[in-house]
């Protein structure tokens, strides 16, 4: 997208970046409000709304960037964009945890759908590690069988989660403390009584488009800033780009927590990460030089291992349901932030 934007001096580049970032933030906050209303009206369930629709909407900038990179033969950028930010996404959820109401965010969901989403993500990460170990060069025509398997498993997981969410046999024993209202309990009260469902869907689509445009602009301007300041070749540049591509997820996750839609917040992060793994398949199709996973760089091994670790930390948090916090953060979120910090240090040491 940089090529489509005329050259700009550094101050103007920074201003455009900030304007686009504000656009992402404001669009993401409003998008969550509409998503919450649509989930209630259509009885989709907040878990699936966050896991599928919200995760897809917030991942559009990464999807476009990956498609362009894979189609242009840049396997390093495509795979790094998809797989390099798994732990960072969970760090976004940990940050959003501090906005929860007097309890850890993982103590609120009423159903076990979020647990199953986490287990599904752990399975996909383990599957990808297995493919990279034993079969990353196996292909049919130019498309790797491992990437194809990831894509097929993703759709199978969507079907499984949909069926589970409609008939969840498990109920938590620990109930909220007095004064806390569970997000999935109580009668439905519309937040937008004057809007028809069709109008809500249209506004959701328009805000999704706004996130796509604003998100793509932030990515393009952050790349230009990295080049103009000389950060592009260092860890700071890589970290900046990774943080920018996760800005839509941060905006929507914090917004979901602030309105009490905790399940949607958690599912948004699980769903975004799982979608990134599934997109290895279409990226492989667009990459005509051979199986894209054959070009996998060892530096991403750390991203997958730490991603699996933080996934299991949050799955444990969802099962244990400990409500206690330290400085507003649940114990599981603090552990995730610690893993994220350690991962950054290891990236620096092994750069």
% of the chain beyond a pLDDT of 90: 26
Check pLDDT > 60 for residue 134: yes
Report the distance separating Cα 251 and Cα 64, nearest Å: 19
> How much is the pLDDT for 181?
46
What's the mean pLDDT when you consider all of the chain? 83
The hierarchical CATH code for the domain 8-164+199-349 is: 1.20.1420.30
Residue 326 has φ and ψ, to the nearest 5°, of -125, 115
* Contact criterion met (CB below 8 Å) for 101 and 260: yes
Query: In 207-245, which positions are buried (b, 16+ CB within 10 angstroms) versus exposed (e)?
Result: bbebbbbbbbbbbbbbbbbbeeeebbeeeebbebbbbbb
State pLDDT tens for residues 262-315.
888 999 999 999 999 999 999 999 998 888 888 888 778 888 999 999 999 999
CA distances from 195 to 34, 56, 198, 203, 260 (A): 10, 24, 8, 10, 21
> pTM for the whole thing?
0.85
Q: Which residue has the higher pLDDT, 229 or 49?
A: 49
State pLDDT tens for residues 238-261.
556 667 777 788 888 988 888 888
Check pLDDT > 80 for residue 222: no
* Contact criterion met (CB below 8 Å) for 31 and 252: yes
For the chain, which residues make up each domain, given as ranges?
8-164+199-349
Q: Which of 286, 266, 257 is nearest to 336 (CA)?
A: 266
* Contact criterion met (CB below 8 Å) for 264 and 256: yes
Q: Residue ranges of the alpha helices (H) in the chain?
A: 10-42, 46-48, 55-71, 75-83, 86-97, 113-134, 145-166, 197-229, 235-245, 247-258, 262-278, 280-286, 299-320, 331-349
State pLDDT tens for residues 101-131.
788 999 888 888 889 999 999 999 999 999 9
SS3 for 100? coil
Report the distance separating Cα 238 and Cα 145, nearest Å: 30
């Amino acid at each position: 997208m940089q090529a489509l934007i005329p050259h700009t001096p550094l101050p103007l580049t920074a201003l455009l970046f900030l304007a686009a970032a504000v656009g992402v933030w404001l669009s993401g906050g409003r998008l969550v409000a509409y998503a919450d209303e649509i989930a209630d009206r259509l009885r989709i369930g907040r878990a699936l709304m966050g896991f599928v629709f919200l995760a897809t909407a917030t991942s559009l900038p990464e999807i476009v960037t990956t498609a362009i990179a894979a189609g242009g033969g840049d396997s390093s950028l495509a795979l790094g964009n998809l797989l390099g930010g798994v732990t960072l996404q969970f760090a976004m959820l940990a940050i959003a945890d501090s906005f929860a109401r007097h309890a850890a965010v993982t103590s609120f969901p009423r159903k076990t759908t979020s647990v199953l989403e986490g287990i599904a993500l752990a399975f996909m990460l383990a599957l990808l590690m297995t493919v990279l170990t034993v079969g990353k060069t196996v292909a049919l025509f130019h498309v790797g069988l491992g990437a194809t398997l990831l894509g097929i498993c993703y759709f199978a997981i969507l079907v499984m989660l949909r069926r589970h969410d409609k008939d969840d046999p498990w109920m938590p024993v620990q109930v909220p403390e007095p004064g806390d209202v569970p997000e999935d309990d109580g009668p439905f009260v519309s937040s937008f009584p004057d809007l028809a469902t069709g109008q809500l869907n249209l506004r959701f689509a328009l805000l999704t488009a706004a996130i796509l445009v604003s998100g793509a602009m932030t990515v393009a301007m952050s790349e230009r800033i990295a080049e103009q300041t000389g950060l592009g070749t260092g860890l700071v540049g890589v970290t900046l780009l990774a943080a920018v591509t996760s800005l839509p997820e941060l905006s929507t996750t914090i917004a979901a927590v602030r309105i009490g839609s905790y399940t949607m917040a958690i599912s948004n992060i699980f769903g975004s990460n799982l979608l990134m793994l599934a997109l290895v398949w279409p990226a492989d199709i667009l990459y005509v030089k051979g199986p894209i996973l054959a070009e996998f760089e060892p530096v991403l091994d750390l991203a997958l291992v730490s991603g699996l670790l933080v996934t299991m930390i949050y799955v444990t948090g969802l099962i244990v349901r400990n409500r206690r916090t330290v400085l507003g953060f649940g114990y599981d979120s603090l552990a995730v932030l610690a893993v994220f910090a350690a991962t950054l240090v290891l990236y620096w040491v092994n750069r």
